Structure formats: structure tokens, C-alpha cells
Amino acid sequence: MNTQPVHLAVYDTLADWEPGHATAHLARAGYRIRTVGPAREPVTSIGGLRIQPDLALADVRPEDSSLLILPGADLWDTNDDLAPFARKAREFLDAGVPVAAICGGTAGLAREGLLDDRDHTSAVSFYLAATGYAGGDRYIDTDAVTDGNLVTAGPTEPVAFAREIFRLLGVYEGELLDAWYRLFHDSDAEAYAVLAKAGAA
């Protein structure tokens, strides 16, 4: 396992529910989760949670990370304040370090041109089309998509988003990954038994 931390982007209007499955189970798997804000000042999520970032965005380097997670936020669609996070995602992808974006984070990547040549998904195709990006023919209408080192998902798919992150990082694989998804997406009691047997529940 890569011992580098996972970096979770945090900013005002952050959609609280989107990265939770991923970060909780990555932490249980031994990854350290570091929050990254525009600066070190506290931010407030859409649910009113106040978060003190561990790091400012300018201080994050791809070589010090296993993954950058970009959750959705109202700010992705109201101004350019979060554009630096999309530019940081470009740095990560250029360095071969994974990026995972969900909801508004996908729109930020689209505006940065990072979805023009990669398979991807989001909330709906016309949401990304409104960004003016050139990747509409690579849009896939499904719960989550992984293309190389990039994971994308829509706002209603935090479990599928986490599933793709786990697959990409090798946290769960094969039967265990399938069982994890069935447990948290479908409340499948038999899936819990599979995870418990493997010591992963």
C-alpha cells in the first residue's frame, strides 16, 4: 500500500455526504486523511460543519500524496474561486497521481480541460455540457467511471465513488470489493458476512 496520505479538498459549501464513505474506509485501511483548503482558514460545509484545513492548497505536492479527492460544492458553479483546485488536479494527473472528483468537482475538471480526452461521468451530461468543455463524446451515463488515474461520479453516487477509489488504490479487490459495495449500496446482509470473514467489516 502507498503510505502517502490521501488529500481531501475542503472549501466553503462542500457537499458533506459525497466523500464520507471513501475517507472513512480509506482511514480504516491505514491511509492518513489530510484536508486541504484554499488557505489554512476554516471553511464551512453545506451542512454547516466547520473544518480547519490541515494544509493550504499551495503546499500540496503530488509526490507527497496517494490521491486527491475533489468533492462537490456550490462554489464550483457560482464563481472561479475553486479553479485552483482543478489546476492542482492537473498537476496530480500529469505526475501520475490519482484524482477522484464527484459532482461539482467534475465540472471543475471539465472547465480545466481534464475531461476532454478521458471517459467520465457526472450528475447528468448537460450539466457538464454547460461548462463548454470538449469531452461530451466521452461522457458515460453510469454511477462512477475510472479512466486511468481519474475517478468521476455524480452527487447521488458516493458509494460507487468510494468503490472506484478502493479499486484504484487496491484497498479492496474482487469479491471483497463487490461485497463492500453490496453492503453499503444495497444493505445486503450476506455481503457483511463476506467482509466479516475477511476481517474487513
Which of the following is catalytic: 70, 75, 103, 183?
Answer: 103
Do the Cβ atoms of 179 and 153 come closer than 8 Å?
no
Query: Which strands sit side by side in the sheet containing 144-147, from one edge to the other?
Result: 55-56, 33-37, 6-9, 67-70, 99-102, 150-153, 144-147
Q: Is 52 helix (H, G, I), strand (E, B) or coil?
A: coil
Do the Cβ atoms of 57 and 40 come closer than 8 Å?
no
CA distance 57 to 13: 17
Q: Is 57 helix (H, G, I), strand (E, B) or coil?
A: helix
Asked about 78 being catalytic, the answer comes back as no
E strand intervals along the chain: 6-9, 33-37, 43-44, 50-51, 55-56, 67-70, 99-102, 144-147, 150-153
Which residues belong to the active site? 103
